[in-house]
């Protein structure tokens, strides 16, 4: 089938394209590409992580969000006397950050459940066919891409934490280098079993048994009930009018979708013709809408805990609430004085995104993460678990305090844009809290400023953090200087950076062409089937 895919690496994109060429639809392509990414993009995602997918079918007008993010573990299981939960420190150059690894860092993994469910519900090809590209890479190994190798090097304390991890990521006594052969022992056998058994392998089959046995033996919290009772949520999106378009965003567990909707409602109050792209006025407006959303976020965090999800969304996006922040932005723009900055907690940073549209207009936006990995491999499986329970920012009230069985929140926000019911843009991003600002700017670049998709994705971006507007290399230096001169705090980045996200996107303009753009900050690649 004709189609396009944009993803976090060439092998991932090629896997999706191969499935389109074999007659699969966009869902088939996305599922196959995601499984391939767990090998080809192993610096940022693994099979043992979780994710959110967003589908839209223009022929039915129906959209569905598949939420297969991680649950808190520990259902019907005794708490070990000693937890396998150890801290490592990663040096990012300008700063360091602590991560926690081990069996007690593992949240219930959703990737396998969610991808199998999507394929069963909406795919055309059997799961075994969709797993062929990943299975071939697992059997033969694959050359690691530069971006993935650099990420492994950056996270060397995690990827060399145990002997099993060192055999994969440091087979020559040093962290794997670009172009070197990556091989994960036992993963091919696990994928072959998955092709035969489907999600049952993870629910109560051999993989589930191996994971739970390892957890029980080594101070973990994950139980057989956690896997047996895990549910993939199929939910309706948040639907938001914006200019001449309709934006479809994921609801919770995605906090990111709700917060992007809030920012878009703020931005919709302004005529962008008065804010030339990249100008001082434009940078000022971006600063103000981003900081306004950060100031509003504590209300969302509170209401989402206290109210049913639909009521919380309604209250947060209600015009009477949003208008207060619009008024503050107007006052700041007229007074040339920035409004207060409210810091926000980080989220898992190592994420990957892919976007697909097929020739029939079916669209899939899919984001996955494994945190940074739990630093070990489940014996005889090739399965590398996540470390979501070891992410400090996901547990503001302390580690292991959230009740078992509850979904963790995420900033992931796979997004779809419609015009007159037709798919116009499929976008999402990796990048922790920068997911929101990356998606916002791609949307505005395309919908407000009429950029080409490639320019919309790869134009220099900004983000507000640490009280300053972080300005990526490529921002107009004169505009940045003028913004600083009127009192706005800025931080100039000398290079392009993965910090600003990875918004691999596809679109279908009104002329019917299929267009794809990989984000060059994160090794983005595209593939097309005519």
Catalytic residue numbers?
351
Report the C-alpha gap between 421 and 279 in whole angstroms.
33
Which of 350, 114, 373 minimizes the C-alpha distance to 253? 114
Q: Is 168 left (phi over 0), alpha (psi -120 to 50) or beta?
A: alpha
Strands laid side by side in the 505-507 sheet: 238-242, 245-249, 415-419, 422-427, 505-507, 515-517
Contact (CB, 8 A) for 298 and 342:
yes
Beta bridge partners of 46: none
Is residue 517 a contact partner of residue 445, using CB atoms and an 8 Å limit? no
Q: What are the DSSP E strand ranges found in 420-522?
A: 422-427, 462-465, 468-471, 490-492, 505-507, 515-517
- The DSSP line for 307-333 is S-HHHHHHHHH-HHHHHHHHHHHHHHH
Q: Which two tokens stand for residue 323?
A: 């208008």
The residues facing 516 across adjacent strands are: 506
> In which residue are the tokens 């993803």 written?
7
- State the DSSP H helix or E strand holding residue 21, giving kind and residue range, or none if neither: helix 10-21
How far apart are alpha carbons 50 and 61 in whole angstroms?
27
Q: Which residues pair with 462 in a beta bridge?
A: 471
């Amino acid at each position: 089938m004709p189609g396009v895919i944009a993803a976090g690496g060439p092998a991932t994109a090629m896997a999706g394209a191969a499935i389109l060429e074999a007659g699969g639809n966009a869902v088939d392509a996305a599922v196959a590409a995601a499984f391939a990414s767990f090998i080809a993009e192993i610096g940022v995602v693994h099979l043992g992580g979780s994710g959110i997918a967003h589908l839209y079918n223009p022929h039915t007008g129906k959209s569905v969000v598949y939420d297969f993010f991680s649950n808190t573990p520990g259902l019907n299981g005794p708490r070990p006397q000693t937890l396998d939960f150890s801290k490592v420190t990663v040096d990012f150059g300008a700063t360091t950050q602590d991560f926690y690894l081990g069996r007690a860092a593992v949240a219930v993994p959703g990737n396998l459940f969610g991808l199998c469910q999507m394929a069963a519900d909406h795919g055309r090809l059997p799961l075994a066919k969709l797993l062929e590209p990943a299975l071939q890479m697992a059997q033969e190994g694959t050359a690691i891409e530069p971006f993935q190798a650099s990420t492994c090097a950056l996270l060397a304390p995690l990827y060399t934490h145990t002997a099993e991890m060192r055999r994969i990521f440091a087979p020559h006594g040093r962290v794997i280098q670009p172009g070197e052969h990556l091989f994960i022992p036992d993963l091919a056998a696990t994928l072959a079993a998955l092709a035969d058994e489907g999600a049952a392998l993870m629910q109560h089959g051999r993989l589930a048994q191996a994971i739970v046995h390892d957890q029980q033996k080594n101070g973990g919290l994950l139980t057989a009930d956690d896997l047996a009772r895990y549910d993939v949520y199929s939910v309706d999106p948040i639907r938001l009018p914006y200019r001449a378009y309709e934006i479809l965003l994921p609801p919770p567990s995605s906090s990111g979708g709700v917060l992007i909707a809030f920012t878009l409602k703020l931005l919709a109050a302004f005529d962008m013709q008065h804010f030339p792209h990249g100008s001082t006025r434009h940078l000022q407006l971006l600063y103000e809408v981003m900081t306004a959303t950060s100031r509003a976020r504590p209300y969302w965090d509170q209401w989402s805990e206290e109210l049913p999800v639909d009521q919380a969304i309604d209250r947060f996006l209600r015009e009477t609430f949003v208008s207060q922040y619009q008024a503050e932005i107007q006052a700041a723009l007229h007074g040339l004085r920035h409004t207060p900055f409210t810091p926000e907690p980080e989220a898992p940073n190592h994420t990957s995104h892919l976007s697909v549209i097929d020739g029939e207009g079916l669209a899939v936006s899919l984001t996955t993460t494994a945190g940074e990995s739990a630093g070990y491999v489940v014996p005889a499986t090739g399965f590398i678990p996540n470390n979501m329970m070891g992410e400090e920012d996901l547990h503001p009230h302390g580690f292991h305090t959230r009740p078992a069985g509850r979904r963790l929140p995420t900033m992931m926000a796979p997004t779809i844009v419609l015009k007159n019911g037709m798919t116009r843009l499929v976008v999402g991003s990796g990048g922790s809290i920068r997911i929101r600002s990356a998606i916002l700017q791609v949307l505005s670049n395309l919908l407000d400023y009429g950029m080409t998709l490639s320019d919309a994705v790869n134009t220099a971006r900004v983000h507000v953090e640490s009280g300053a507007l972080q300005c990526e290399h490529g921002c107009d230096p004169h505009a940045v200087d003028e913004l600083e001169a009127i009192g706005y705090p800025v931080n100039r980045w000398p290079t392009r950076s993965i910090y600003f996200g990875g918004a691999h996107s596809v679109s279908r303009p009104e002329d019917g062409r299929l267009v794809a753009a990989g984000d060059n900050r994160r090794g983005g690649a595209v593939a097309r089937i005519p």
